């Protein structure tokens, strides 16, 4: 079955450490998104990519980096510059047509040790 796979489900980061969250999709979708969700809050856009080898900053990109070397993969790195990384991270994708539904991964909960 097609879908989005995020891993790991839970991740712990030490101070000063970079960590990478994985997002893989086999839906042949062009657009992929990374969102951050804090407890009781809505989704905030970190980065998005409309096509391979291209990505754009969202509203809260500082302290994060991404790459889009393959259509299927859109990993998110939480760098040591992100001073408050504890949050729930969601990856989403959408097909090229504007009439296509959004698909979401199951999320990664990142916590700081």
Partner 1 sequence: KNEVEQSPQNLTAQEGEFITINCSYSVGISALHWLQQHPGGGIVSLFMLSSGKKKHGRLIATINIQEKHSSLHITASHPRDSAVYICAVLRDSNYQLIWGAGTKLIIKP
Own/partner contacts of 57-66, CB < 8 Å, gap of 24 or more, are 58/33, 58/34, 60/36, 64/34, 66/34
Question: Would you count residue 64 as binding partner 1 (CB under 8 A)?
Answer: no
Question: Would you count residue 50 as binding partner 1 (CB under 8 A)?
Answer: yes
Binder of partner 1 out of 11, 43, 60, 61 (CB under 8 A): 43
Binder of partner 1 out of 22, 79, 109, 112 (CB under 8 A): 109
Question: Would you count residue 106 as binding partner 1 (CB under 8 A)?
Answer: yes
Among the residues of the chain, which ranges form H helices?
none
The encoded tokens of residue 95 equal 């097909």
Write down the least CB distance from residue 16 to partner 1, Å.
27
Question: Would you count residue 90 as binding partner 1 (CB under 8 A)?
Answer: yes
Question: Would you count residue 99 as binding partner 1 (CB under 8 A)?
Answer: yes
Q: Which of 112, 17, 10, 30 is nearest to 74 (CA)?
A: 30
Q: Which of 113, 112, 109, 84 is nearest to 8 (CA)?
A: 109
Please give the residue ranges that form the binding site for partner 1 (CB under 8 A): 31, 33, 37, 42-43, 45, 48, 50, 88, 90, 92, 98-104, 106-107, 109
């Amino acid at each position: 079955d097609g879908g989005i796979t995020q891993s790991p489900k839970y991740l712990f980061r030490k101070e000063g450490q970079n960590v990478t969250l994985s997002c893989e999709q086999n839906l042949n979708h062009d657009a992929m998104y990374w969102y951050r969700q804090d407890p009781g809050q809505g989704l905030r856009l970190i980065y998005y990519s409309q096509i391979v080898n291209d990505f754009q900053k969202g509203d809260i990109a500082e302290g994060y980096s991404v790459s889009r070397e393959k259509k299927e993969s859109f990993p998110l790195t939480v760098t040591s510059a992100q001073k408050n990384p504890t949050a729930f991270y969601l990856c989403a994708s959408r097909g090229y047509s504007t009439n296509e539904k959004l698909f979401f991964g199951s999320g990664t909960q990142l916590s700081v040790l």
